[in-house]
Structure 1
Amino acid sequence: MTNKALIRLAVAGIAFCSCQSDSYKIKGYANHLQDGDTITLALEDNQQKILGQTIISEGNFNMKGVTDTTVFCRAYLNKEPLTSISFFLEPGNITIELHPYPTPSRVSGTVLNNEWQGLNDSVQTLGDKLIRLAEEASKTDADNRQQLQQTIDSLHRKISGCIKNTAQRNKTNVLGKYIIDNYKEPEFK
């Protein structure tokens, strides 16, 4: 092989790789769902805008494509749309664990989606505590109820703080802008 041929191959390889910079790959795991079920990928704020569909096979599903912008989207099970995950579709490798509703699904693989999942994990953990305390408060006397209410208020503030801190850390990217545009901080007494 001549030097010219090697240079052409190298240039072609670089050009091919550079064309793939906007590509995404979604590797999905759906072990608790049925083979043959359809998974749909759609824009979160416009569910009629379907970006793709795929079929579960042996507990897995895959999607790939190209996106020139990062968009907030949702992957869901067609026959049970509550079995879903909202995430940021962006270039890179994205991993989804899709669980039957009401078990929370998970996303990882890109910086934004890792940050998004971290926020969801924090809110879920604090929210679970909040629900347990609210249930406990409904079964207790007035003195204990007041103390539980203070703890509940504190948890509300922690949840709000997690959301605000994530927005602040990400104020220059799509995640931060999404939170700023969609989260209304509660008015605490």
Structure 2
Amino acid sequence: MKCYDTALPGVKVIEPKLFEDSRGFFMETWNASRYAELGITANFVQDNLSLSTKGILRGLHFQQPNPQGKLVYVLQGEVFDVVVDIRYGSPTFGHWVGIILSAQNKRQLYIPEGFAHGFCVVSDTALFAYKCTDFYLPQNEGGICWDDSDLGITWPVVEPTLSEKDKQYPKLKEIPLERLVKFGLD
């Protein structure tokens, strides 16, 4: 298994070890002891799965209080996955990273608590899986508008399909600080 740091502290790209033969392949998608060796000691409590079609953008989502860390990967198709640091006081507050996750490259992305997350489907369909470190609590959900000009995210789509909720999210600078995670409290 390979692991790469990104420009955002704690956000990691993981390439699980693949065992291939004429029958197909096998890989571990989670093993607590192996991932702990990479510095990922998360206690996952909820698994989620979404199916989306080309041009759908989900995000940028976060939960506060009770922020969620996530381990995300694609089972079918391809997405452009984005993570934004929303830990106010962090040296990388408001910075983002984007990475292609696909069924073909089998990469995973680990996103610790304190980051907003979203993805855009670039293939015809995408089956997207994610493990979460806290339970989803609708009363604690929040989000940032996908096209926040202050963030400058270079999405691979100009006019994505959004949920009604995602269309209503504000810019990061419009979110009260008490709705964000304070840097250094982790």
TM-score (norm 1): 0.26
When Rg is computed on C-alpha atoms for both structures, the one with the higher figure is 1
**TM-score with structure 2 setting the length:** 0.26
> Per residue, is there more helix in 1 or in 2?
1
Q: Which one has a larger percent strand, Structure 1 or Structure 2?
A: 2
